[in-house]
Amino acid sequence: MIINSEYRYEDIRNFYFENENGQQIDFQNITGKLFLYNVTGLGFSKNLEYARVGTTFVKNKDELEQSVIQGELEFYDTTYDEYKNFVDFIFQAKSLKLIYVPKTSKKVKYYRDIDVAQIDKADEDEYNILPIPITLNCKSLWYEENNFVYTVEEIEDELRWDFEWDSRFTDYENRSVLFENNGHAKAPFLLEMTGYILNPVISVYVEDELVNELSIDVTIEANEKLIYSTRDNECEIYKLLQNGTIVNLFNSLDLNNENFFKLPIGYSTIRLSAENEILNSKLTIYKEYIAV
């Protein structure tokens, strides 16, 4: 493949790999040493079954199949060194995400948890380019990471809210966030709350009606953190101590309650409360899409 030198980096869609430490590999940097093209599998496939009823067919099975993304990597210049660095990056990572930035007027990053299932290797072609077919098995839907962060800082003997990530806290007393889920599925979330917190409660409301609530009978001391995740592959709740020790809080949950829930499609309000004032918290909501 010969790249047109008149193409601009910002005029094409972009792909990246990202590991658990936030380190990235850029696959679309035309002026760099690596390029990904001929990408397929960005859509979706369903397993559908129907029962015939007279002259009509009634759907009785509708399952989303696992997506497989394929493409071809091209390595330039010192091709073996770049290939070796790429393979090292894959095998040294504990987890990998594919980041996809479509060519749109508004650059939006979509993430997908993936495993690298296959990489082939051939010889350099006549242009000294090393083409490498690659296959990725997808472990999640596409998702956006929407972050809502607040901290309280003491400035000249007064408390001041420091807002980040364009968050919209609608109720300072209860620490509520109004969120619109315009994705294709219910949205899981990750909540990180820093102590001191006494018996926190996580509530979800739709049109002022309580639809989900989790009360946690626990004390989070200063310099400790509560971690609560409702992602399907990471359902967890624990206390992180200052020395890095993890204290599992599953035993504090009511087994008769729906303890891990997601935000429904449409508008909902997630409310954080406790027996004391919550001063520091980070809420990451994963808006999921079947196709982007």
Model pLDDT for residues 239-279, shown as the tens digit of each residue = 999 999 999 999 889 889 999 999 999 999 999 989 988 88
Instruction: Give the Cα separation of 168 and 159 in Å (integer).
Output: 18
Question: CA 8, CA 31: separation in Å to the nearest integer?
Answer: 10
Enumerate the domain spans of the chain. 9-140, 143-289
pLDDT at 79: 73
Judge whether residue 235 has pLDDT over 90: yes
> What distance in Å separates the CA atoms of residue 1 and residue 129, rounded to the nearest whole number?
9
- Calculate mean pLDDT across residues 186-208: 94
**pLDDT of amino acid 6:** 45
Distances (CA, A) of 30 to 33, 69, 105, 135: 8, 21, 20, 22
User: What per-residue confidence (pLDDT) applies to 81?
Assistant: 83
What confidence tens digit (pLDDT) does each residue in 95-133 have?
A: 999 999 988 767 789 999 999 999 988 788 777 888 899
Q: Which of 47-61, 69-83, 246-260 has the lowest mean pLDDT?
A: 69-83
Q: Within its chain, how far is the Cα of 118 from the centroid?
A: 23
More confident residue, 282 or 187: 187
* pLDDT above 80 for 222: yes
Residue range 17-35: average pLDDT? 83
> Do 117 and 133 form a contact (C-beta atoms < 8 A)?
no
Q: What is the mean pLDDT of the chain?
A: 85
Task: Please report, to the nearest 10 degrees, the dihedral formed by the alpha carbons of residues 175, 176, 177, 183 taken in order.
Answer: 130
Identify the pLDDT of residue 150: 58
pTM recorded for the entire structure: 0.83
The pLDDT of residue 200 is 93
pLDDT at residue 164 tops 50: no
Asked whether residue 170 carries a pLDDT value surpassing 80, the answer given is: no
CATH class of 9-140: mainly beta
Residue 31: pLDDT band (50, 70, 90) is low
- Give CA–CA dist 228/263, Å, rounded: 14
- Band of the pLDDT at 173, cuts 50, 70, 90? very low
Provide the pLDDT for residue 89: 95
Share of the chain above pLDDT 70, in %: 85
Contact (Cβ atoms closer than 8 angstroms) between residue 110 and residue 292: yes
The class of domain 143-289 in CATH terms is mainly beta
